[in-house]
């Protein structure tokens, strides 16, 4: 699911960043806030995509296990003493 951010609603936040890194970054951008927002947007999108991929893998694993269980049954079924 893509990240959707409204450019209208923004609020100030406090971040603790390496001072030297901030000074270096300012040599490459005149708008550090916009650059950080872009990088955070990309980071969140990558994390969401990774999470989606892990969920798909888990869903396939569950479906495969359910198919095995349906055709073979459970090892524990032979040992139930109830």
Q: Which domain holds residue 26?
A: 20-74
Q: Higher pLDDT residue, 80 or 46? A: 46
Q: Look at residue 75 in the predicted model and tell me its pLDDT.
A: 79
d(CA 68, CA 33): 52
- The helices-and-strands tally (H runs, E runs) of the chain is 2, 0
d(CA 20, CA 37): 20
Residue 53 domain flag: yes
Residue 67 domain flag: yes
Residue 52 domain flag: yes
Q: Look at residue 14 in the predicted model and tell me its pLDDT.
A: 93
Q: How high is the mean pLDDT of the chain?
A: 90
Q: Tens digit of pLDDT for each residue in 36-51? A: 999 999 999 999 999 9
Residue 2 domain flag: no
Residue 12 domain flag: no
For the entire predicted model, the pTM comes to 0.70
Residue 55 domain flag: yes
Q: Look at residue 77 in the predicted model and tell me its pLDDT.
A: 76
Give the number of domains in the chain.
1
Q: Look at residue 20 in the predicted model and tell me its pLDDT.
A: 97
Locate 6 and state its tokens.
Answer: 């409204």
In which residue are the tokens 């955070």 written? 40
Residue 34 domain flag: yes
């Amino acid at each position: 699911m893509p990240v959707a951010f409204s450019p209208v609603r923004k609020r100030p936040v406090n971040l603790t960043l390496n001072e030297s890194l901030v000074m270096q970054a300012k040599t490459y951008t005149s708008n550090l806030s916009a650059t950080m927002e872009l990088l955070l947007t990309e980071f969140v999108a990558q994390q969401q995509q990774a999470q989606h991929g892990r969920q798909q893998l888990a869903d396939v694993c569950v479906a495969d296990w359910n198919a095995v269980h349906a055709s073979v049954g459970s090892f524990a079924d032979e040992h139930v003493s109830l």
